[in-house]
Chain A
Amino acid sequence: MNWRLRSTFTCYTIVLPSLVLLFTFVYLPVVWAFSKSLYEFEVGSPARFVGLSNYTEYLFSDPTCWPSLLNMLLLTLFAVVVRLTFPLVVARLIYALPSERGRHFYRILFLIPIVVPGVAVQLIWMGLIYGDRGLLNELLRLVGLGGWAAGWLSEPHTALAAVAMVGFPFIGGFEVLVYYAGFASIPTSVNEAALLEGCVGVRKFLLIDIPMVLSQVKLILILTIIGGVQSFQNVFILTRGQPGFVTNVPGLWMYLNAFSFQRMGYACAIGVLLFLVILVLTVINLKYFKSAEQLQGKAS
């Protein structure tokens, strides 16, 4: 008993740094997020308790609220669609190659862009692709369609689409690797059975391959959704939500309220609301989207 207690004590001593760090830098901010959202305050000024009025103000009287939620939804949906298709197709094509060297080459090739910092990628797109004299406009001028040249990121009817299209053709090395790992783990017996039944080509891709990589699809889906709801770095760098609030998203509005307008409580409230959205979506995802293992488990 004595030994056991001492061991327990030792164990806790060893994991203490982990717990202290987590408590300080994760749990405390989480608690603050909720508690401070009930106050109105600037950094360094006294706080004023306002109850739930930050929430009601955002949801019911902030004109940016619903349009920006819609933007978030559209951008996330678009991201989900393209990240579930383009890299999947590419991974399948790579998987189809007969030589291991070829497969390795393409996996590496698509992974290379990951070394460029994300900020730089967005700035490159902003300047070199969408710029006044960027690739897009220069190409249009080259083929005599100079009249179509536009400020892609600054005109109300193109801005949101331009933000969504950054990264075209949307083949992230990460997604390709994940899907490829999924294809690579399809048992040979499944492939042979499919071949025997004459199930090949697109038909096999849709009927056999995709169901077999569902757990990978689900992973990308969850990551894309969480990223889509909370990330605003792309919009922050590309447009700051402009023109007007056409490309605004709630995360960006939270940032501006906190660090530009000094409305810390209001910003915390927006953060809490976004957290709730993510929570609900994740739960739905986990509950209703069965992974391949579960499907297989049921079948057997």
Chain B
Amino acid sequence: MSLRKILRYGSLAVIVLGTTWLLRPPPEERHADAGKAAKGTREDARFVLKIAPGSSYLPGTQPFGLDLTLHGLSDVVADFEQRYPDTKIEIINVPGVREYLVTQLSSGQAPDIINVNVEDVWTDVQKGWYVPLDQFLEAPNPFVVEQGDPSLPGSKEWWDMFTYQGISRGKAAPDNLNYCLTYDMIETGIYYNRTLFKTWGVEPPQTWEEFLAILQRAKQEGKIPLLMNLSNFNDWCTDLFFDQLYYDLLPGIDLIQDPVREQYLQGYLDWDEIAFLFRKGFFHADDVRYREVWRLMHDLKQYTNRDMMGTDLLREFVTGNAAMLWSVSAIGFRLQADRDLGFEWGVFYLPRFTKQTTPYASSVDMCVIGGSGTQLEITCSAIGDTDPNLSMAERMEKSERLQRAVAFLQFLCLPENYARIVNEYPCMLPNIKGVAALPVLKPFEEILARRYTTTKWVYTFDLRFGEIQSRMLGLFLADGVSEDEYLRWEEDNIRAATENLLRRKSVDMDKLEHIWEGKAAIRATYRDLPPEPGRDAR
């Protein structure tokens, strides 16, 4: 009996002690180059900056299939901290969603530097949550200047360091200020099983009809023709198909061409324009082009995997069960890393619609919908050391914290630092001159050379709009609701979102109306425009 007791309490003691030992905090620096770790601790640092870099570069994570633990960003941070011993940079992982942002930013608790899609930033610029970066981007990058070579990009303007000038500068918000540092690039493409394509004797398609023919063939051969999930439909498909059908109309419906962004965004429809067009009868159930967008999507759904909510699309592709996979450039390395992959693969981009696809096809090539990948913004937390009653300009003037945050971003852009982070593994395409894309990402460089999308629907309105559209689209594609019912939901959804938007933001509808009337002659040449609802709708 007593032996039993000894065993019982002895083993319990071992477990408790073992657990305590396991739970001890790990040594500060886990990586091989621990010698570089900054000596400064949080207590004696004047500036503690938090950065949420997003998931691609999060130190300590292991990219899918690679025997590699990321440390590029923490290495660069350590170098920065060594240069500025009064500064401590904390890298944190936050849920990359706007739900999180809204609560954090509204209470001033957000990280100083965050990675969030800039379209989400645009929605909130009027709230003073983000710091405009123009004055810094238009000035030299001090870390380049100190290298002493005036021919280096960045020694005149920080802006010059970026490879993709159009996309980077085009990320200016509707107020013409730039809140976003386009740190790297990402694009989507269709990965295809080249071995299968060879067996079937087909080539990557040039038109939508050829594409459908391949999908049809794959289906006959018992393969899943195309792997994609609901968010691909809701985000990418919507924008691409919308662009294919409305591009021709842009001269008559793109109302605001602002001087700064136009040369890069080329007729981008902002939320105020979308809201105005909705009031003019566009995107209603009887807008034939709008209906066509969803019909074509429903047709495409016949060739995709059944489970649209599944996140693990890659699996069907690597096991050879599917012919094609529509995914982002950041997934290519996973294919490369798969040791059991028994086939060759390639990448092509979606081919354009023809008049045969739909009578409303604009017959232009499919546009770019990706572009900026990691988009770094400085939040109002960075100017938290100043009096919140001052204007943004004054606070930016006074804030020392902000200087450090900007310096850190400038430091991150220095090619030798940049390469350590972005090219640690082939996930994102570099956007800094002098840093080349890793081989597996090459096909996407060509795709990125295309024209930018007409609008980004999921970022146009509030989160409620996006949530409802995604849900109902999923239901529609799974034949859970009819096309008519879906369009009714969507119309109600845009209406609610439009009303909400007009209530919150000052949109000069009279000015838009004026421009609209000025373009009546252009629109008269278009056919099948939606009927304008009765005047009382205004």
Contacts and interface: CB of A to CB of B under 8 A. Distances in A.
A245 B485 CA distance: 14
A250 interface: no
B510 interface: no
Interface string A235-254: 00001011111100000000
B28 interface: no
Which secondary structure dominates chain A's binding surface? loop
Contact of B462 (A44, A156, A261): A261
Interface string B273-314: 000000000000000000000000000000001111110100
A43 B99 CA distance: 12
B107 A243 contact: no
Contacts of A245: 471, 475
A263 B102 CA distance: 12
Contact of A132 (B316, B462, B463, B475): B316
Interface in A207-239: 239
Nearest to A44: B106
Given A43-B103, A246-B480, A241 B471 contact: yes
Given A132-B307, A151-B306, A151-B310, A260 B471 contact: no
B480 A256 contact: no
B132 interface: no
A172 interface: no
B102 A262 contact: yes
Contact of B481 (A151, A155, A244): A244
B467 interface: yes
Interface residues of A, number: 29
Contacts of A42: 102, 106
Given A156-B479, A245-B471, A259 B307 contact: no
B99 A155 contact: no
A254 to B, nearest CB: 14
Interface string A7-43: 0000000000000000000000000000000000011
Contacts of A256: 467
B471 A155 contact: no
Contact of A242 (B306, B309, B312, B464): B309
A270 B476 CA distance: 27
Interface in B447-506: 462-464, 467, 471-472, 474-476, 478-481, 489, 492
A260 B99 contact: yes
B46 interface: no
A244 B103 CA distance: 26
B315 interface: yes
A189 interface: no
Name the residue among A42, A131, A244 with the largest chain B CB count within 10 angstroms: A244
A94 interface: no
Contact of A244 (B107, B305, B312, B474): B474
A43 B310 CA distance: 33
Given A154-B307, A155-B306, A261-B464, A244 B102 contact: no
Nearest to B307: A151
B463 A244 contact: no
B480 A156 contact: yes
Contacts of B475: 156, 243-246
Contacts of A133: 312, 315
A153 interface: yes
Interface of B: 99, 102-103, 106-107, 230, 305-310, 312, 315-316, 462-464, 467, 471-472, 474-476, 478-481, 489, 492
9 contacts: A132-B305, A132-B310, A133-B315, A154-B307, A157-B480, A242-B471, A243-B309, A261-B464, A261-B467
Interface of A: 42-45, 63, 131-133, 149-151, 153-157, 239, 241-246, 256, 259-263
Given A242-B230, A244-B472, A245-B471, 9 more contacts: A132-B316, A150-B307, A151-B307, A154-B308, A154-B309, A155-B307, A243-B475, A243-B480, A261-B467
